[in-house]
Structure 1
């Protein structure tokens, strides 16, 4: 796989490559093509370099034997960001880095699969960045993002849509979903909106009054 950067515009989403399960090369290539900056998290760097991907930033706590000069030579020019704060995950630190750079949006891959604790943490941590960064987590089976209070998007009929609350979400209403929601409450661990689907070709409307609600576009 070759380098990235058809564009160099911070209005395009950045790309974070975490260290979970790999995605299909086609998806990876599509995201690399339009990303103005590629950030790799810590120990994923060896897997990424094996794919001949040009990296802009390597970020992590580097809590192992780490040779900065080696990676700088292999990936020149490369910015290495040492982020030792143990109260945050490397993914959170990467989000903070992008906010400091005034980059408004990011796609995240390799953030699901492998360890379940990492997957759950990576998906739910999106909520704390509601007002500062637009985050989309992608893998070969789903596209996950946090919903604004009012969300509208055109979908073809039968598109699988899951609504997963982070904690409790109140006042949820929908239009054009097969299982409609009418001022409903969803609570993680008790009642979720998993495996709903679009009723017919057209706009889907989802609104909620309180809480943080993830939408997952699922591909079986």
Structure 2
């Protein structure tokens, strides 16, 4: 049974060292577009293609690639893909290419991912950050990297340890309050009463 997957969307993917590490350390890849340029750029052949696919795109595929058509027009491709992961007990999902082209899509995709974070362990990779969604006490490995924390609730109490400016069971005073922090060493811990979005710089 597949427990983890890399989901490749159609946004911008930068071939950073971190992205290369993700590709090298995983062996199950899901694409939401049969003709994705990101697949070619990353040198990845997907194990599975999801989405509302036209017949021409399907005909061009390697016969070894599994294709699952998802035609629900009331949900985005990312939502349908995360639903598939949830329904097939794929617990850990790394998402590449969900940001970087359209700001509305980028923001929506981060918010969509946050709504699935109680069910799936999601890491969303951009050109500059890895984005994770935290509630329970969580240790995060990051060596002297920039960190930003955004709470989706103004009443959320947050505690951190290992950051330059730690929070001690505090509410963020504004959306900008948790921006541009730093990791003091090789890791930090964070917990919150409800889901927070944590941005960790990558190289």
Give the TM bin, normalised by the shorter chain: 0.7 to 0.9
Name the structure 2 match of 1:3. Answer: none
**Counterpart for residue 191 of structure 2:** 207
Q: Which moved more, 1:85-94 or 1:108-117?
A: 85-94
Comparing both chains, which one has the higher relative contact order based on Cα–Cα distances under 8 Å and sequence gaps of 6 or more? 2
SS in 2 for 1:168: coil
1:126 alignment partner in structure 2: 113
Please give the secondary structure, in 2, of the residue aligned with 1:67: helix
Deviation sequence 1:42-100 (CA, Å, 0-9, x none): 265254246652112221223xx54154233xx22122222121222111111111122
RMSD across aligned C-alpha pairs, in angstroms? 2.6
**Is residue 154–residue 201 contact of structure 1 (8 Å, CA) maintained in 2?**
no
1:194 aligns with 2:179: yes
Question: Following the alignment from structure 2 to structure 1, what is the Cα–Cα distance between the partners of residues 35 and 57?
Answer: 14
Q: Which structure 2 residues correspond to residues 27-176 of structure 1 after superposition, within 5 A? A: 27-42=18-33, 45-49=36-40, 52-62=43-53, 66-72=55-61, 75-156=62-143, 158-168=144-154, 170-176=156-162
Cα distance change of structure 1 residues 167 and 90 upon mapping to structure 2, 3 Å threshold: farther
Q: Which runs of 5+ in 2 are unaligned?
A: none
Distance 1:67 1:167 in 2: 45
Q: Which has the larger radius of gyration?
A: 1
Aligned residues: 203
